[in-house]
Amino acid sequence: MSNFLSNQLPLAPLGAGDLIDRAVRLYRRHLFTLMRIAAPPVIVSTIGSVLFSVAWRKVWTTASGGMLALYIFMIVAGGIVIVAGYVFSLIVMGGAARNLVCHLLWNEPVSIRATYAAVRSRFWGLLGASLIMVAWFGLSAMVASFGWYTVFVLVAIGAVVVTQIAPMWMAVLVWVAGTIVSAVVALWLFFFFIGRIAYVPQVMLVEGKGVFSSVSRSFSLAKGNVRRLMAMTLFITFAFYSALMILVAPLLWYGYLNGVSLSPWDSTEWPAFYAIAYSVLQPVSSILLAPIWMLGLSLLYVDERVRHEGYDIELMVSRQLGSVPKLDVVSPYAPAIVMDHERITAPPRPGNTLGLS
């Protein structure tokens, strides 16, 4: 009974704080399993980071043309591997969402096998969707940068005008306020656009849709999610850098006591062991916190369906009645989770309609 209630979604939609709290509680409950799920993509990124770090140090000091070409190749290869690790993380996110919904539906265990079985079932589709998401990410960053630049230029012109008719302190005040406003505008534009495709992996694995229909479906779900997505991202970013500082502090102390320059601008002069250790620490902190990001986006996807489609009712019905045949209709009459692409079979029905045993 306690497990049933702990996994049951609340009927009311979740705010940003509730989403973060629920993600953290699920993270604590399945800490080591989630870390192992998140580890493979992070390990790929770590390999690329080490390649990039080693080659970057050597490319400025080598006198050999052949070695210079080798180091440039390593830099390019390291960058590609880093991007591949991030794409792999997006792919795994879809499998994690599938596993999470099964956990909410039937209290199935959160496991590496279930997550990566879901990934294998739709790997190529998830890869294509992830590449679309990466391209959209770049477009969103360009739009946000343009918005920031436009507001910043207007503020700069306004500050110059104010200096001609008002005291200098007022011009400084206008400059500071305008800088803050331009940053807020850039963040809002970025999250407004990136939020449109935040649910693509989840839609593919939970609803069984194709690549382009998943993108369209994500657009339709992403209504009013800017503030919650921004709050969740800021929370995870703060937690990430807090964990990174805890991990980096002993290395920085060691470097300081041994005469290593702590400035990143002097990274080409760092000893090899120090540079490699520094490049590995960031992925290690990612292993610790990437599961919260996966859980947060998956819960946000579930919450969007709760808000717009009564998905919590679907989940409760599916939990009580077991698997529902796939129907070619729009939610809330479609199954809560499709069974076509998975090795998952319909769970046994509970002993009674209240889920009591």
Residue from 106, 10, 30, 124 nearest 339 by CA: 106
- Highest mean pLDDT (candidates 36-50, 156-170, 246-260): 36-50
Q: Would 352 be classed as within a structural domain?
A: no
The pTM assigned to this predicted structure is 0.74
Q: Would 356 be classed as within a structural domain?
A: no
Listed in sequence order, the residues at least 6 apart from 214 whose beta carbon sits closer than 8 Å to its beta carbon are: 129, 200, 201, 203, 204, 207
Q: Would 331 be classed as within a structural domain?
A: no
Q: Would 61 be classed as within a structural domain?
A: yes
Cα separation, 206 vs 331, whole angstroms: 12
Listed in sequence order, the residues at least 6 apart from 151 whose beta carbon sits closer than 8 Å to its beta carbon are: 178, 181, 182, 185, 186
Residue from 340, 310, 335 nearest 325 by CA: 335
For the CA atoms of 292, 293, 296, 298, the dihedral, rounded to the nearest 10 degrees, stands at -110
Residue from 314, 306, 94, 338 nearest 198 by CA: 94
Q: Quick: pLDDT tens for 155-206.
A: 888 888 887 887 877 878 888 888 888 888 898 999 999 988 888 888 888 8
Q: Would 320 be classed as within a structural domain?
A: no
Q: Would 315 be classed as within a structural domain?
A: no
Domain of 164 in residue numbering reads as: 2-309
Query: In total, how many domains does the chain have?
Result: 1
Question: What is the model's pLDDT at position 136?
Answer: 93
Question: What is the model's pLDDT at position 323?
Answer: 54
Q: Would 99 be classed as within a structural domain?
A: yes
Question: What is the model's pLDDT at position 53?
Answer: 81
Question: What is the model's pLDDT at position 140?
Answer: 92
Q: Would 357 be classed as within a structural domain?
A: no
In the chain, where does DSSP find H-type helix? Answer: 2-7, 16-29, 31-59, 65-106, 112-121, 123-165, 168-194, 200-207, 211-221, 226-257, 272-309, 311-321
Q: Is 52 helix (H, G, I), strand (E, B) or coil?
A: helix
